[in-house]
Chain A
């Protein structure tokens, strides 16, 4: 499991715009670089990120070889009700990781 750091406010007022910050540990190997033996290292990148709130998709991103290692994605959403965010990263070599975080809306 790659280490992921997710930050969002624990509590919010209904209607507040909240910022969500995600960071995941990943080499994002481009597929263009030679390794120590001179051979091209196979591409190993995250290709897709998506965020769901209570099952509903609220943000999606496609990633390409130019993204740097340990991609950092930040976006905002409007807090409407308490619930769980689900963050999924998918990529080469069957990479698939899901993390969750909750927000309480007063």
Chain B
């Protein structure tokens, strides 16, 4: 009797184990855009009022400007970004065969600079890298996030999920505790979003500027009183891979605007 009760209980626990990544049912999945007030939503949707467009415009200039040294501009090889970059941001991070590791969009831009333009990579969080990344990602606006089904990405994606669910820092929190288990509730006065990276790089009013997903992740980590990884660490790419899978098929919003 007791034994069958235990079995039933075990069965219930197994049944409660979420079948989808992140434990968020597909019908419940929503972007942080939905958590914002109508004024901020309007600001994101109006390109003429959106301060992130300042970076996107800078990125458009950089796209067409040839670097010193005679190498071609981005547009020299890729042409019109509207056509050639459409959908690219929706499938990043992706596998880089040359280096044998997954990379995100800003790494792709910097690799391109190094190998094809023979210039120094742009610094993380520099206005130029954010601008160029935002410009490229904006070309995918409205397209569903579609992570590639490349089996070589699977180990990093698994690692990303493990990091997402691992407790860290002095507060002993994990990403999942807030964004899987308590989304839609509040932490102090702030709404807890599901944490989908739909619009990076994005303009955050708190930052009064543009920032990458890595900056956002570092923010969360210092909030949990954990030591953030350095910019460009493979741990971020792993997390970005898992987050992209978890967010699919929400649409790309770059440049998003968040409080």
**Chain A interface (Cβ < 8 Å from any Cβ of B):** 3, 5, 7, 21, 23, 25, 27-28, 68-70, 72, 74
What is the 8 Å Cβ interface bit string for chain B, positions 150-193, against chain A (1 contact, 0 not)? 00000000000000000000000000000000000000000000
A5 and B209 contacting across the interface, CB-CB below 8 Å: no
Chain B, Cβ-Cβ closest to A69: B208
A27 to B209 Cα, complex, angstroms: 9
Q: Apart from A5-B53, A72-B51, what are 6 other A-B pairs with CB-CB below 8 Å?
A: A5-B54, A21-B48, A23-B49, A23-B53, A68-B208, A70-B54
Distance in angstroms from B40 CB to nearest chain A CB is 13
Query: Could you name 12 residue pairs across A and B whose Cβ atoms are closer than 8 Å?
Result: A3-B57, A5-B48, A5-B57, A21-B48, A21-B49, A23-B49, A28-B208, A69-B51, A70-B208, A72-B49, A72-B51, A74-B49
List of B residues within 8 angstroms of A3 by Cβ: 54, 57-58
Complex CA–CA separation, A70 to B43 (angstroms): 14
Report the minimal beta-carbon distance from A23 to chain B, rounded to whole angstroms: 6
User: What chain A residues lie within 8 Å of B49 (beta carbons)?
Assistant: 21, 23, 72, 74
Q: Does B205 interact with chain A (Cβ within 8 Å)?
A: yes
Give the distance in Å from the alpha carbon of A69 to the alpha carbon of B210 in the complex: 11
Query: Within B46-62, which residues are at the interface with A (CB < 8 Å)?
Result: 48-49, 51, 53-54, 57-58
Interface residues of B (CB under 8 A from A): 48-49, 51, 53-54, 57-58, 205, 208-209
Q: Which residues from chain B contact A70 at a C-beta distance below 8 Å?
A: 51, 54, 208-209
A27–B205 Cα distance when bound, in Å, is 13
Shortest Cβ gap from A82 to chain B (Å): 21
Rounded to whole Å, the gap between the CB of B213 and the closest CB of chain A is 21
Task: Tell me the minimal C-beta distance from A27 to chain B in angstroms.
Answer: 8
CA distance A70 to B209 in the complex (A): 8
Most buried by B among A23, A70, A72: A70
| CB-defined contacts of B54 to chain A, threshold 8 Å | 3, 5, 23, 25, 70
Q: In the bound complex, what is the Cα–Cα distance between A74 and B51 (angstroms)?
A: 13
Q: In the assembled complex, which residues on chain B have CB atoms less than 8 Å from the CB atom of A28?
A: 208
Closest 6 CB pairs of A and B: A69-B208, A7-B48, A70-B51, A25-B54, A21-B48, A3-B54
In the assembled complex, the CB of B79 is this many whole angstroms from the nearest CB of chain A, namely 24
Tell me which residues across on chain B come within 8 A of A74, comparing CB atoms: 49
* Minimal beta-carbon separation of A41 from chain B (angstroms): 13
Query: Which chain B residues border A72 with CB–CB below 8 Å?
Result: 49, 51
In the bound complex, CA of A98 to CA of B8 (Å)? 74
Q: How far is the CA of A7 from the CA of B137 in the complex (A)?
A: 23
- Minimal beta-carbon separation of A24 from chain B (angstroms): 8
CB neighbours of A69 from chain B (8 A): 51, 208-209
The closest CB in chain B to the CB of A21 belongs to B48
CB distance from B257 to the nearest CB of A (A): 12
Shortest distance from the beta carbon of A56 to any chain B beta carbon, whole Å: 24
| Chain A min CB distance to B159 (Å) | 33
Q: Considering only CB atoms, which chain B residue lies closest to A25 in the complex?
A: B54
